[in-house]
């Protein structure tokens, strides 16, 4: 029982430490959903689950030496939030431009953002899966899948509070696009894409 509890604790700490930034991304997505209706909450949750599951699967493959795609190139997906942010910011600063004119975001866009933002998690997860037993790995995956739902609930709760929405009313046109731009830039830099291309 103690070993089981310790394994769960390790999984929770590992997920939390590598997904604090993911919580910010989720909150930004739910904030956008509350403002303009796109993406829908179910699309965010589905995209988060699909993207995170892809990251876990890639980590498992990397742990057994089967992953052939360099981790740094996965960071190219950071171009997606960067492009969405720039487009949204340009539209937001135009006179008379309304939030409803922002480009639509669906499940696949959310999946891409999640994978790009979690590219650096691959090294942590794959290293852990290399040393975990089969039972520890299975338990860790179950904990991760549970925490994805918790992350979605926390992010949606935060983004849909009236105080949060009213406090952001004056800056809402450009806030989410700026967050996307920052996320995209950080992903490209942190995953080494910029250095690799340069």
- Most confident stretch, 16-20, 53-57, 62-66: 53-57
pLDDT, greater one: 2 or 34: 34
Q: What does the domain layout of the chain look like in residue ranges?
A: 2-197
> Tell me, what's the pLDDT at 7?
81
pLDDT, greater one: 26 or 124: 26
Residue whose C-alpha is closest to residue 187's, from 87, 79, 107, 83: 79
> Tell me, what's the pLDDT at 195?
63
pLDDT value at 132 more than 90: no
Residue 31: CA count within 13 A, CB half-sphere = 26
Burial of 65 (0-12, 13-18, 19+ CB in 10 A): exposed
When mean pLDDT is compared across 8-22, 23-37, 172-186, the lowest value belongs to 172-186
| Confidence (pTM) | 0.71
The residue assigned the tokens 């892809």 is 54
DSSP state at residue 132: S
Q: Where are the alpha helices (DSSP H) in 37-171?
A: 41-63, 71-74, 79-93, 107-117, 121-131, 134-159, 162-167
How far apart CA 102 and CA 88 sit, in angstroms, is 6
């Amino acid at each position: 029982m103690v070993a089981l509890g310790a394994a769960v604790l390790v999984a929770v700490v590992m997920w939390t430490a590598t997904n604090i930034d993911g919580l910010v991304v989720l909150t930004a997505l739910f904030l956008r959903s509350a403002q303009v209706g796109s993406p829908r909450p179910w699309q965010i949750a589905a995209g988060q689950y699909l993207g995170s599951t892809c990251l876990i699967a890639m980590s498992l493959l990397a742990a057994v030496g089967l992953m052939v795609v360099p981790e740094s190139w996965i960071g190219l997906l950071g171009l997606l939030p960067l492009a969405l942010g720039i487009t949204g910011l340009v539209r937001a600063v135009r006179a008379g431009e309304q939030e409803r004119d922002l480009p639509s975001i669906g499940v696949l866009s959310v999946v891409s953002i999640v994978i790009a933002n979690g590219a650096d998690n691959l090294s942590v997860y794959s290293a852990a899966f290399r040393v975990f037993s089969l039972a520890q790995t299975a338990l860790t995956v179950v904990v991760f899948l549970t925490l994805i739902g918790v992350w979605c609930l926390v992010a949606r709760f935060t983004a849909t509070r009236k105080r949060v929405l009213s406090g952001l009313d004056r800056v809402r046109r450009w806030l989410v696009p700026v967050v996307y731009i920052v996320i995209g830039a950080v992903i490209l830099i942190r995953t080494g894409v910029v250095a690799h291309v340069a």
